[in-house]
Amino acid sequence: MKYVSTRGQADPVDFVTACLNGLAPDGGLYVPEEWPQIAPAVPNEPYVDVATRVISAMAGASIGADDVRAMCERAYASFSHPAVAPLVQTGTNAWLMELHHGPTLAFKDVAMQLIGQLYDHALTAKNAHLSVVCATSGDTGGAAAAAFAGLSSVSMTILHPHERIAPVQRLFMTTTGASNVQNLALHGDFDDCQAIVKDMFADKGFTAEVGLSGVNSINWMRIAAQSVYYATAQAALGPSTPIRFVVPSGNMGDAFAGYVAARCGLLGGGFEVLCAVNQNKALAELLADGVMRRTPAVATPSPAMDITVPSNFERLLFEAAGRNDSVVRDVYAAFAQAGETTLPETARGPLGCMGFSAASVTSDDILAEIARFQDETGWLICPHTAVGTFAAREAPETDAATVVLATAHAAKFPEIIEQAVGFAPDLPRRVADIDGNAEVFHTIPAEPLAVREAIATLAASAR
Ligand SMILES: *Cc1c(COP(=O)(O)O)cnc(C)c1O
C-alpha cells in the first residue's frame, strides 16, 4: 500500500510516513495509490474489529495487524459508549449517528485518539521523539491534548488565543495534568496563533532542532479512522439499505471519509452524502457552480465549521479529475494567485456525479432548529449537528434512510443552547467535574520567539 500526493510531485510513501508527514512535501494531500477492497461490516461486529480491519487494509505492510488492533483497542477504550458511534432513531426513517462519546465530546476524538496511538507506536519503534504543535480555536486542541497526554514519545504544545475561546473548550485542553502537554494562551487572535505555527514550520533549522510535527485536518489517518463509522452505520441499517448521510461540514474531512468508505467497498447501499454547511458556504458554491473563491469567514453558532476553503476538497478534485495531478496543481496555483478560480469542465462533470451535494444553513435557522429538534424528538443537539438536521429537513424527499452525523455534544456549547431553548445543558457525568480540575496554561505575548522558546524547553525536558 503506497500513498501518493494529489499534486503528483512527491515520492509515494507508506501509510505510517503519510500520517507522520501530514502534508506531502509538494504541498499536496496523500491518497492511497489504489483503493483497498475491504469486506463490509456485519451487523453487531464490534467497532474495534471493524476499525482494525479498515486500518489494517489502509496500513498494508507498514504496521502489523496485532499492532493495529492494540492501537484501536487503546484509542476506543476512552469512549463512554461501547458502540463508539451509536445510531439513535429520531424519525420514521431517520437516525442520528452520535460521534461525541469520546473524551472531549466531539467527533475529532474518533480520529485523534488513533493518531496519538500511531505516533506513539511509530516513534517508540524508532526510539524517536517529536514536538507536535497545534493552533486551535476550539475542538481540535482538546481532542489533541486528550490523545497525546502521557505519551512519552511526543511533546505537545497547543496555542490558543487568550480569552477568545469558550471556557468548556479551554478546560478540555488545560486540565490533562500531563507533563508532556503544554498550553500557551497568546495575547492575540486565532490568526496570530496560526501565523506563528506556519512561520515555525517554514524554518527548517528550528523544525529539525525540536522535531516539529503538526496534526491537522488533512492528515490521512483522520480520513481513514472516520471511514469506519460509515461502515458500522451501513451494517446496522442493513447491508444494502440505501443511506443518505448528512454531514455537518467544514474542511470536509468527515464527508470525504464517507466517499472513501464507499470506494473501499464498505457501503453496500450506494453512496450519497449531503454536506451541510453554515453561512460560510464556499463548499456549496464549489459543488454547485464549480467556483473556488476566497471570502472572509463569518462567525456563526457553529464555529468548528467557520471555514472558507475546505482543505479536503483537494482530494475530491483529484478523484473528479480522474486522478490527473496536473489539473489539481493548475487549480490550486490559479487559486493561490487570483483568490478565485473556476474548475475545468473535465473535473466539473464528474464532480456532479460522485454522490455529493451541499446545502447552506443560516445562523437563525441553526438556533430555531435546536429548539424544534428538541420539541420533536426530545434530543438536545449541538449547533453543528443542527446544521445537519436542518439541511436534512429541507432536502429533497428520499426513500433512503437518513443518517445525520452528530459531531459534538450539546453541553460543549452552553451559551448557544441556552439562547435556543432557554437553559444550558449539564455536561455528561464522566466529564462533569472538569471545571473542578486545576487548569495549567501560560499566558504569553503573540510573538514567535516566545512560542519557540516554550517548545524548545519542553522538547529539552523530554530528552
Ligand atoms: C471539525 C468539526 C466539524 C467539521 O468537520 P470537517 O471534517 O472539517 O468537515 C463539524 N462539527 C464539529 C463539532 C467539528 O468539531
Q: What is the DSSP letter of 412?
A: G
| Residue 371 resides in a domain | yes
Q: Which atom of ligand 1 is nearest to the CA of 382?
A: 13
**pLDDT band, residue 201 (cuts 50/70/90):** confident
| Residue nearest to ligand 1 atom 1, measured at CA | 304
In the reported structure, the alpha carbon of residue 106 is separated from the centroid of ligand 1 by a whole-number distance in angstroms of 9
In terms of DSSP H, where are the helices of 84-203?
108-126, 139-148, 167-174, 190-202
| Residue nearest to ligand 1 atom 14, measured at CA | 304
* Mutate which of 100, 139, 366 for ligand 1 pocket (most atoms within 8 A of beta carbon): 139
Same domain, 151 and 278: no
Domain count, the chain: 2
CATH of the domain at 46: 3.40.50.1100
C-alpha cell at 126: 524508532
Run of H or E including 311:
none
Q: Which residues are catalytic?
A: 108
The per-residue pLDDT for 191 is 82
**pLDDT band, residue 229 (cuts 50/70/90):** very high
| Residue 288 resides in a domain | yes
Same domain, 189 and 54: yes
In the reported structure, the alpha carbon of residue 463 is separated from the centroid of ligand 1 by a whole-number distance in angstroms of 35
Same domain, 199 and 316: no
Q: Which atom of ligand 1 is nearest to the CA of 412?
A: 13
| Residue 406 resides in a domain | yes
Q: Which atom of ligand 1 is nearest to the CA of 254?
A: 7
d(CA 114, CA 70): 10
* Average predicted confidence (pLDDT) for the chain: 95
> Which residues form ligand 1's pocket by a CB distance below 6 Å?
106, 108, 139, 217, 248-254, 304-305, 384, 407-408
Q: Which atom of ligand 1 is nearest to the CA of 138?
A: 15
* Mutate which of 109, 140, 247, 251 for ligand 1 pocket (most atoms within 8 A of beta carbon): 251
| Residue nearest to ligand 1 atom 2, measured at CA | 304
| Radius of gyration (C-alpha) of the chain in whole angstroms | 21
In the reported structure, the alpha carbon of residue 303 is separated from the centroid of ligand 1 by a whole-number distance in angstroms of 9
Q: Which atom of ligand 1 is nearest to the CA of 252?
A: 9
Give the number of other Cβ atoms within 10 Å of residue 317's Cβ: 24
The per-residue pLDDT for 179 is 95
Same domain, 272 and 312: yes
Answer with the residue of higher pLDDT: 334 or 169: 334
Question: Considering only CA atoms, which of 279, 301, 282, 223 is closest in space to residue 255?
Answer: 223
- Arithmetic mean of pLDDT, 368-381: 97
Run of H or E including 340:
strand 340-342
What are the phi and psi torsion angles at 25 (to 5°)? -60, -20
In the reported structure, the alpha carbon of residue 136 is separated from the centroid of ligand 1 by a whole-number distance in angstroms of 13
| Residue 442 resides in a domain | yes
d(CA 70, CA 49): 11
Same domain, 126 and 240: no
- Arithmetic mean of pLDDT, 72-87: 97
Q: How many helices (H) and strands (E) does the chain have?
A: 18, 15
Same domain, 198 and 274: no
| Residue 396 resides in a domain | yes
C-alpha cell at 188: 492575540
**pLDDT band, residue 174 (cuts 50/70/90):** very high
- Arithmetic mean of pLDDT, 154-179: 92
* Mutate which of 98, 168, 254 for ligand 1 pocket (most atoms within 8 A of beta carbon): 254
In the reported structure, the alpha carbon of residue 249 is separated from the centroid of ligand 1 by a whole-number distance in angstroms of 6
Taking 90 as the threshold, does the pLDDT of residue 308 lie above it? no
Same domain, 270 and 201: no
Same domain, 190 and 59: yes
d(CA 325, CA 349): 17
366, 300 contact by CB (below 8 A): yes
388, 99 contact by CB (below 8 A): no
Same domain, 307 and 215: no
The per-residue pLDDT for 42 is 97
C-alpha cell at 208: 529539525
Run of H or E including 325:
helix 325-338
Same domain, 271 and 123: no
- Arithmetic mean of pLDDT, 105-109: 95
Model pTM score = 0.95
| Residue 199 resides in a domain | yes
Taking 80 as the threshold, does the pLDDT of residue 326 lie above it? yes
| Residue 81 resides in a domain | no
Domain that holds residue 155: 3-76+106-219+437-462
Same domain, 36 and 62: yes
